[in-house]
Amino acid sequence: MKTNPAKIIATAVLSLVGSSYAMAVVSLPHFVTDSMVVQQQSKIRIQGKGSGNVQVQPSWLSGSVQATSGTDGSFMVELPTPSAGGPYTIVFTDADGSLCLGDIWSGEVWLCSGQSNMEMPVGGWGKVMNYEQEIASSTNPDVRLLHIKKQTSPVVQNDTEVNMGGWRTAAPSTVAEFSSIAYFFARQLSKELGVHVGVIDCTWGGTPAEAWTSAAGVKSIPGFEPQISMLEECHGDLQTLRNLYDRQIEEWTAQANSGDSKFDASVYATDAERINLPAYIEDTHGAFDGIFWLQRKINVPAEFAGQAITLNLGMIDDEDITYFNGVEIARGSGYNVPRSYTVPGELVKAGENLISVRVSDFGGEGGLWGKPEQMNVVIGNKSVSLAGDWACVVTANFADLPERPVSVDSSSFPTVLYNAMAAPLKDMPVKGVLWYQGCANVGRAEQYSPLFQQLISDWRSLRNEPELPFYFMQLAGYLTPKLIQPDSEWAALRQAQADALCLPATGMASAIDIGNPEDIHPKNKQEAARRFALLALRNAYGKTDVLAEAPRAVSCSWDGDEVKLVFDDEVLVDGEAPAGFIVKDDAGRWSRPERIVASGRNVTLHCSSPVKELRYNWADYPDGNLRGKGGLPVTPFKQIK
């Protein structure tokens, strides 16, 4: 709880600005402040603390509502909210004074959550498309922003901390570090509906779905038994939880490091496989998490022997220990942190010298990555490129080990973000939820499908709204484009996301066509927000003239080497000929169709042999070019004979 800036005013002049002020005792949740938007025609529950009985007077009601404080001073009041309008005030009066919240509006409120692509701010680290212009023109009194602070908890909390001191009006100073999708969505929705729109930025980059799911929900999903056991054993005590984790990670690390006993960082591995850097190890090894060594020889002219040199290794995902001639010189962490290390002069000898980098990849991509020009060694006044051929030796494949324990203090531990950031907002009614997350669960699509559906159910149960609108973004295209990639883990995760459409009042927007093969954070967040807004306008607000979804295949007929798809609406081709399909024959071989014809609602594939399965846009970064009349991309799908 916190005490909001108090406006103490005499009862007879509650509506007058400039009344007398004094310190109030009443305290309210961090997310109940001046300038907030309340969801119109709903009921907002406010839990606070006061002295004795508390009178609550919303200016939209003719009378006050009385709440009785408990022995600890806590109280709860439920207020019906009016139709869109304002500005309003809410006055809380207890035995010690009055607290007045002002500039309150009734309108539409949306909770926006997920990982980094939802978190990505307009400016800050995000710098979306045209960010300078977007920030400069962002002043908009009809758009209100609430930014939840990053925090974790092993048990459900009643309050959550916020940034910026609470609700704030959209302006250059408030928008720059706020979720770009949430802001752009609110801006469009307010324009379309003609009401105030409040958006809640409740995000944390790099976080998996299980961190946003309840303990009971996670317990119902196979694969999280160790973490749930820890939570149940600690009974909400964080230190006990940490002690359990310390013992587990010590045992696991010993197993992971055992392979290093056979590797000597002072000796060049002449028989090792070769890898061209910068690159991710997944480019050559497929899905991989583990420990591997990278080695490169460099030549130092005699005149520089005994002098310090600088190693610039680019970015290293996730952690590294770097050696020079067998001696450790530095350790680094952070997948997007450039590594620049100084080699002490006493280690530098004339002629051949050896760089050895031990890389630990705990999830997702791993390796020395970035741009070739970021990798070099500076010797005297010369810079020599380190990009190119390196030796690579794998000493631990985590797939061969028990699952690595997740730090209980990390934002990835199951339930911790649900407990600390989502659950406390249960008393603030919202029109719906926007969700953009999934990258952190790539590689676990089979688990993600039921987990994501459980998350949606948890958030609805939390608010006692079984059909709370829940709209999510299907992952954007990312990584190296490949024409045939039936084993794509990104495609599998996109399908797991789409599985949630079986739940009522869900909707899926797609970013498949606005991704970037080299950047997991595509810049065109305006279009992503527009697609969310289309879903909301049509499905949540009943604007049936809005085209919110692309056509979907409703039937598939098989005739030898010809396959005919029928869609539920006209399909347009963005280019000269349809693309993005792969087909599998009876022998299990995948290929591209020889010819594809699109006409109206029909798409016909002509193949070189009989087909038993087809997939569309099934790759990390696919090249499908089918769209609907509204310009939205046809989403990935598969058909099996």
What average pLDDT is seen over the chain? 93
pLDDT value of residue 145: 98
C-alpha triplet 568, 445, 420: angle, nearest 5°? 105
Which whole number is the average pLDDT over 207-218? 97
Nearest C-alpha neighbor of 316 from the set 277, 261, 373, 264: 277
- Predicted confidence band at 24 (pLDDT cuts at 50, 70, 90)? low
Strands of 60-119 (E only): list them. 65-67, 74-80, 85-94, 97-114
- Predicted confidence band at 6 (pLDDT cuts at 50, 70, 90)? very low
Could you tell me if 230 and 244 are in contact, meaning their C-beta atoms sit under 8 angstroms apart?
yes
Upper half-sphere CA count for residue 245 (Cβ side, 13 Å): 18
pLDDT value of residue 12: 32
pLDDT above 70 (res 168): yes
pLDDT above 70 (res 3): no
The helix/strand/coil state of 455 is helix
509 or 63, which is more confident? 509
| Separation between Cα atoms, residue 90 and residue 69, nearest integer Å | 18
Which whole number is the average pLDDT over 102-112? 98
Which whole number is the average pLDDT over 533-538? 98
Q: pLDDT per residue over 267-325, tens digit each?
A: 999 999 999 999 999 888 887 899 999 999 999 999 999 999 999 999 999 999 999 99
Helix axes 238-257, 225-234, angle to 10 degrees: 140
Which whole number is the average pLDDT over 154-165? 96
- 110: which 2 tokens? 């949306």
Nearest C-alpha neighbor of 92 from the set 104, 82, 84, 83: 104
pLDDT above 90 (res 186): yes
CA separation (Å) from 293 to 180, 241, 623?
A: 39, 33, 34
pLDDT above 60 (res 1): no
pLDDT above 60 (res 19): no
| Separation between Cα atoms, residue 457 and residue 448, nearest integer Å | 14
Q: Are strands 197-203 and 140-148 parallel, antiparallel or unpaired?
A: parallel
pLDDT value of residue 284: 87
Please state, for a pLDDT cut of 70, what percent of the chain lies above it: 96
E strand or H helix that includes residue 190: helix 180-193
pLDDT above 50 (res 102): yes
pLDDT value of residue 25: 77
**Length, in residues, of the chain:** 641
The helix/strand/coil state of 103 is strand
Q: pLDDT per residue over 55-94, tens digit each?
A: 999 999 999 999 878 888 899 999 999 999 999 999 999 9
pLDDT value of residue 45: 96
Q: pLDDT per residue over 421-480, tens digit each?
A: 999 999 999 999 999 999 999 989 999 999 999 999 999 999 999 999 999 999 999 999
Nearest C-alpha neighbor of 518 from the set 333, 371, 622: 371
pLDDT value of residue 477: 97
pLDDT value of residue 364: 76
Nearest C-alpha neighbor of 508 from the set 489, 536, 541: 536
| Separation between Cα atoms, residue 566 and residue 552, nearest integer Å | 8
Out of 59-68, 338-347, 589-598, 632-641, least confident range: 59-68
